[in-house]
């Protein structure tokens, strides 16, 4: 009996010690866990500046940065200054289910960039499914490991600056836009990869350079957003009103841009021609007026000079008359 009592006491002590360690170091433990989870979700190295776990259900993350893989000039792919997560700890412990009543995600900046191989960093995200240099699998594919069920009731998204850069093109391209997505709500998400693909679809549909990202929005929608209300088909349907349309090719976008530029140059030429023509007419008029005025003034001067000379000639005696008078 004493041995059994000591065993039970030892087990309780270990459980209490483990709980105490978790409470004391919960922020550090969860910070490391979040970094690994987002790195796995995106395929890009992730760092978290600060994390605070308000036991048992609220997690606040600050300063999350997702870094680009090798081969890109910019170090940071996404800058997320703040994330709020509501966690149902009871379901996680009892049912092994990740149930999140709410996530509030504030994405301040995303940098889309093309590398020397002509591929964007967005194409290399794990949720997209394209891996750089990866060959097609041969034979029967390996079965994925069984993941915990994932349930997100409410997702609130804020998305601001998105940049596109192609430093390796003939003319280096740098474009940017403020997405102005402020606290947009999405519900019933059952796949964590849908969070990434949802943002990608918003960028593809909401920017003029979305067609240059190398992504097929229909694939993103059918893959992970099919069960997400207020997303998926609705987002894809609204995308048809975007400049160039989702189905437009980069060449079409270039033709549209070139056409607009040509029209602008032509209009500018007409304006310049009109201004120059008006200026020449005004110049000719001014010169004509000036010449006329000058001619009048000179005529007057010469007239006065002529009169003066004539008067002086009349008043001055001739040489013959002077010699006669002397004699």
Shared domain check, 219 and 109: yes
Please check whether residues 201 and 277 belong to one and the same domain.
Answer: no
**Within a domain: residue 213?**
yes
Per-residue pLDDT of 40-68, as tens digits, reads 999 999 999 999 999 889 999 999 999 99
Same domain, yes or no: 186 and 218:
yes
Could you tell me if residue 253 is inside a domain?
no
Q: Please check whether residue 18 lies inside any domain of the structure.
A: no
Can you say whether residue 62 is alpha, beta or left, with left for phi > 0 and alpha for psi between -120 and 50 degrees?
beta
Per the CB < 8 A criterion, the answer to whether 21 and 176 are in contact is: no
Residue 96 lies in a domain: yes
Range of the domain at 274: 265-326
Give domain status of residue 163, yes or no.
Answer: yes
What would the pLDDT profile of 271-289 be if each residue is shown by its tens digit? 444 544 554 454 455 445 5
Residue 152: the pLDDT is: 95
Domain boundary among 248, 280, 304: 248
Of the residues 185, 214, 248, which one is the last residue of a structural domain? Answer: 248
Buried b (16+ CB within 10 A) or exposed e, 244-270: bebebeeeebeeeeeeeeeeeeeeeee
Which of 248, 278, 310 is the last residue before a domain boundary? 248
Residue 257 belongs to a domain: no
Same domain, 51 and 199: yes
- Same domain for 176 and 269: no
pLDDT (tens digit per residue) in 63-91: 999 999 999 999 999 999 999 999 999 99
Q: Are 242 and 205 in contact (CB under 8 A)?
A: yes
Q: How many domains does the chain have?
A: 2
Residue 58 shares a structural domain with residue 166: yes
Is there a single domain that holds both residue 102 and residue 184? yes
Considering the domain architecture, whether residues 205 and 67 belong to the same structural domain is answered as yes
| Residue 271 and residue 234 share a domain | no
- Range list of β-strands (E), the chain: 46-54, 58-67, 76-86, 98-113, 150-166, 173-189
């Amino acid at each position: 009996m004493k041995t059994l009592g000591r065993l039970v006491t030892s087990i309780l002590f270990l459980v209490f010690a483990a709980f105490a360690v978790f409470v004391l170091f919960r922020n550090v433990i969860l910070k490391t866990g979040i970094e690994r989870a987002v790195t796995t979700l995106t395929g890009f190295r992730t760092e978290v500046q600060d994390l605070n776990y308000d036991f048992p259900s609220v997690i606040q993350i600050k300063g999350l940065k997702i870094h680009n893989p090798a081969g890109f000039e910019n170090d940071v792919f996404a800058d997320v200054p703040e994330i709020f997560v509501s966690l149902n700890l009871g379901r996680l412990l009892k049912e092994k289910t990740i149930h999140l009543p709410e996530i509030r995600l504030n994405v301040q900046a995303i940098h889309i960039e093309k590398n020397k191989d002509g591929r964007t960093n967005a194409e290399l995200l794990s949720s997209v499914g394209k891996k750089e240099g990866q060959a097609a699998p041969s034979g029967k594919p390996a079965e994925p490991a069984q993941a915990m069920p994932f349930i997100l009731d409410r997702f609130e998204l804020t998305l601001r600056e998105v940049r596109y850069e192609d430093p390796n093109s003939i003319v280096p391209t740098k474009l940017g836009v403020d997405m102005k997505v402020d606290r947009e709500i999405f519900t019933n998400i059952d796949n964590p990869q849908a969070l990434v693909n949802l943002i990608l679809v918003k960028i593809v549909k909401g920017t003029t350079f979305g067609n240059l990202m190398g992504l097929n929005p229909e694939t993103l929608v059918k893959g992970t957003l099919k069960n997400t209300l207020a997303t998926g088909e609705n987002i894809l349907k609204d995308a048809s009103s975007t400049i160039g349309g989702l189905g437009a090719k980069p060449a079409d976008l270039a033709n549209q841009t070139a056409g607009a530029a040509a029209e602008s140059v032509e209009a500018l030429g007409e304006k310049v021609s009109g201004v120059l023509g008006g200026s020449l007419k005004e110049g000719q008029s001014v010169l004509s007026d000036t010449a006329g005025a000058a001619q009048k003034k000179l005529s007057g001067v010469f007239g006065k000079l002529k009169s003066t000379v004539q008067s002086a000639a009349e008043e001055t005696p001739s040489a013959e008359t002077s010699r006669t008078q002397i004699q």
